[in-house]
Chains A and B, each alone.
Chain A
Amino acid sequence: GEDVEQSLFLSVREGDSSVINCTYTDSSSTYLYWYKQEPGAGLQLLTYIFSNMDMKQDQRLTVLLNKKDKHLSLRIADTQTGDSAIYFCAESMTGGSYIPTFGRGTSLIVHP
């Protein structure tokens, strides 16, 4: 079955890099996503990676995909207090309905 796992909390100092990790179980995943949820708001797509890619970079964000280990990570360079939020990893499957399966979310806390 589908399962997406991520740790619940991460605390970093402002200016450091943050790395949020995610593991998934379904080997037929097509797209892997990172969503961000700010306090009092809905989720918003940050970035996604197609399963035939190893890496994707977008400004301060770097997504790394290790298909062999079914491991996805999101690195945020120069983390700012505005990056404090909950980050959700999600996957959707080849040949399925492309409805994402979400992890439980990682709360990123950025302190001065």
Chain B
Amino acid sequence: DADVTQTPRNRITKTGKRIMLECSQTKGHDRMYWYRQDPGLGLQLIYYSFDVKDINKGEISDGYSVSRQAQAKFSLSLESAIPNQTALYFCATSGNGRQGEQFFGPGTRLTVL
């Protein structure tokens, strides 16, 4: 079974709709992250959380919000989706060590029409 899972895997929605992307992990990690990937732009950090009571903005948090419901769960919301939020979204986790290796989920492909 996958250690980091994301639901849904694909979603098509319309401008103005509220969307929630969910992430669960069984690695027992405290740190969780949400990234956005656009072709040719690499990964951009949206939000990250170092434990259940900790939420931090990343490079591109505008238009997004997150909730850390438990150590194992971290969800990303788009309150009012717009077409330029069409992208591939990844959740990742890491341990607390200096090495910083991240473990990624399979991604959610979101299309906003």
Question: Interface of A with B (CB < 8 Å)?
Answer: 8, 30-31, 33, 40-45, 48, 88, 92, 97-100, 102-105
Contacts and interface: CB of A to CB of B under 8 A. Distances in A.
Interface stretch (B12-20, B69-77, B78-86, B94-102): B94-102
Interface residues of B, number: 23
Contact of A104 (B40, B45, B94, B97): B40
Nearest to A89: B42
Contacts, number: 51
A31 B42 contact: no
A42 B4 contact: yes
A48 B101 contact: yes
A32 to B, nearest CB: 11
A42 B105 contact: yes
B41 to A, nearest CB: 6
A41 B107 contact: yes
Contact of B100 (A41, A44, A98): A98
Contacts of A105: 42
B100 A42 contact: no
A88 B44 CA distance: 13
Contacts of A43: 43, 90, 92, 102, 104
